[in-house]
Each structure stands twice: as C-alpha cells, then as structure tokens.
Amino acid sequence: MFSSTLWHIEGCCRSSVLFLKSLKCAAFSLSHGHCSSASIVTHPSSRQKSKLSVRCRSKPQRQVCKTVLQHFDAQYREELGEQWKSARDVLLNPHSWQYGVLLNRFSDLTNLEQGLRALGYTSLLPRVQPESQSNTAHIPLQCLIHRDPFRLPNQGHQPGWLKQYFLLNAASVLPVLALDVRDGEKVLDLCAAPGGKSLAILQTATPRLLHCNEVDPHRHDWLLKTLESYVPTTLQHLLSVTRLDGRSVGGERPGAYDKVLVDAPCSNDRSWLYTPDTHQGDIWLKERAQLPLLQTQLLCSALAAVRPGGVVVYSTCTMSQAENQSVVEAILTSYQGMELLDLTQLIDSVSDHFGFAHLHPPVGHLVIPKKGQTWGPMYVCRLKRVY
C-alpha cells in the first residue's frame, strides 16, 4: 500500500476522523511523488476546523559510528553467524524500520482502529482465548503493525486528554506478554522509563499495584509524563512511581511482588550504532564491558523482590550474549531456588512476525531484525522463584 521509504506525519489531531484523513492524504502524496518523507502539518484556527497541508522533504541521513560498527561486526559475526548479516543490513538502514502501534484502551479510539486496519495495519497477536479461564484472565493486548516502514505521528502531551496510542518496536511487547500479569497482582517494573512496558502492562490487566521505578532523574520525569498522558486519574491510585536504585529494591522490599519486570539498561544496538562521534563511541564501548555486572545485580534484586512462586522476566534490547543469556546463566548457576520457564507457546504465537536467533546455549529467546521483519533486537527470558 505504501512505498518502502519511511514517512511520518507531524502534528496532533484529537479528532480520529481528521487524523485518519491526514493519513490518507500523506499516503496519496507518497504514491504520486518521490519524497522520502511526507509531513502533515495541522494549522489550528479559532474560527474554523484545522486545515491540513502536505509537504515533502528528505529525512536527514543518520551517521554511523565506524568504531561501534567495527566492534559489532567482530562480536556478532562470532555470536550470530549468518544471522548477523541480515540484522546488520536492517540496523544500517533506519528508513526500513517498522513501528508498532500500541492502542490505549483508556482513550477514545472511536474509528481509529478501523481506520488503521483500512490502511493496512494488522494485529501483532492472534485473537485467542487466554489459557486461564478464571476471572483474572488478562485483556488481549492491542498492538497493530504494518508491513511497510510507516510511522504515525507522536501525539503531543495535553493535560486532561489521554493519548490514543504509543509507538514502539513491536518486539518490546514480548517481555510484557511473558510476564503475563493478571488482575489483582502486585507488579514491579524495575527499570521503567520511558514507560512503554508499564503502559503495556496496564493494557493487559488491572493490577492491585504497579510499582514503576526509574533511578535516572531525566528518565524518571519522562516516565511520569508518559503515565500522565495515558493512564486515567481513576487508576492513578494503582501506581507507585519511585526513583530508587534498582539494585537495592529487593533488599528493601523482599518478597513484596507477584511479578517483576527487569528491562535492564543495556548497550542498545540501534542507538549505539549512531553514536554522535568516535570519542563517544569509545566511551560507550568501555562502559559496555561493565553492563553485565549491573544487569546481574538488577536481576538478583528482582528475584529477591518477588515472592516464592512469583515470576521475573529479564529483557534487553541488545543482541550481546554477555548481556543476555550469560547474565541469566550466572544467576541459575549461582543461586538456588530459581527455575527457567518455557516460553515456547508465546514464541510460537508471534513467530510469523519475528525472526528469532538460534541461541547457544538455548537460554531465553532473542528477536533479531531482518528484512521485512525489522523488529528487535529484543532478548526475553522468564524465571520463577521456587522458594
């Protein structure tokens, strides 16, 4: 339906009808021109409805940091083999990146989902009944994807109005699905900013408590803004937002939660590859060597914070073995009472949309981007605290 070049729309339309008209207008501009990015700009007027104008412009080319790329080439050729070639091609071509649309069940979605489907969007997840038929069964997550690298606009923050959707790498919902939160559970999102996974949790269930923690001051403010933009005031009492050192939470609140998500700080392959300069790239690569220790400490804290019988999901957005399965292996070999849980059913349900790496050893699952399925990187692993 759309050209293969990335395009997006600027401006925020609170009217779903007006918004969908702007989508169609941008699609028309692409099909009749040669621009690499189509922009819809809204011009509000106090006397008349917003007018729409379309302009075409070229999207600035992002500069790859050669130092980081050389490091990735050496590491991932060894760890991923032939799969690195397809992942490398995607990472080096941001114009090919696809974007998922997480719909906000708390907002007015009148005509929006229907309109997006008419434009070629489909559901990431099959509409199947959950395994549990109890009253605590979760709500199906509404995440829409498109086969082309089509990006909707980021809706602006407006006090008193709830945003309709959250843009994300669709693989980012896998840790939330693996966590499998149910109504009435107490949940900790240990490294929560910018808030997409906390929001996704609330799309699937109404927990008794959702504790969203972020130690970094700037990212903590970002987290607060996200929650304010998407969660109604009637549910704010379910949320606790803190700025604690995640490594200490387990010691301060042992066994306090039913489920814990550790979306750990990592060497984000997508962003690190576009480090502004070589000097910064060198700094990040040195910091990369220290990340597994931090990640292990965070995972230990999470396992202390969850109750016996509770579940912890560990995830990153890197393909690095040292930050993924090696961290989990270290926990399994060093601590008793931990069990690695199977994710085969979840992986099978999304296998048509994602490319998965062949991990050795097979601990957890890794989504690697490839042509036509540019989701990831995303590593996810589920653990149970037995006692």
CA distance 368 to 237: 38
193 annotated ligand binder: yes
**Start-end of H helices in the chain:** 16-31, 66-80, 83-91, 112-118, 174-179, 196-204, 217-230, 246-252, 269-272, 278-288, 291-305, 325-334, 344-350
- 358-378 in b/e form (b: 16+ CB < 10 A) is ebeeebbbbbbbbeebbbbbb
49 annotated ligand binder: no
Q: Does residue 317 have an active-site annotation?
A: yes
348 annotated ligand binder: no
Helix, strand, coil % (nearest 5) of the chain?
40, 20, 40
171 annotated ligand binder: no
100 annotated ligand binder: no
**Start-end of H helices in 92-147:** 112-118
CA distance 347 to 177: 10
12 annotated ligand binder: no
Find tokens 């083999």 and name the residue.
81
CA distance 387 to 331: 15
258 annotated ligand binder: no
Task: Point out the catalytic residue in the list 35, 143, 317, 381.
Answer: 317
Q: How many residues can be counted in the chain?
A: 387
195 annotated ligand binder: yes
214 annotated ligand binder: yes
Active site residues: 317
Q: Which residues are annotated as a binding site?
A: 191-197, 214, 245, 263
Q: Which residues are annotated as a binding site for S-adenosyl-L-methionine?
A: 191-197, 214, 245, 263
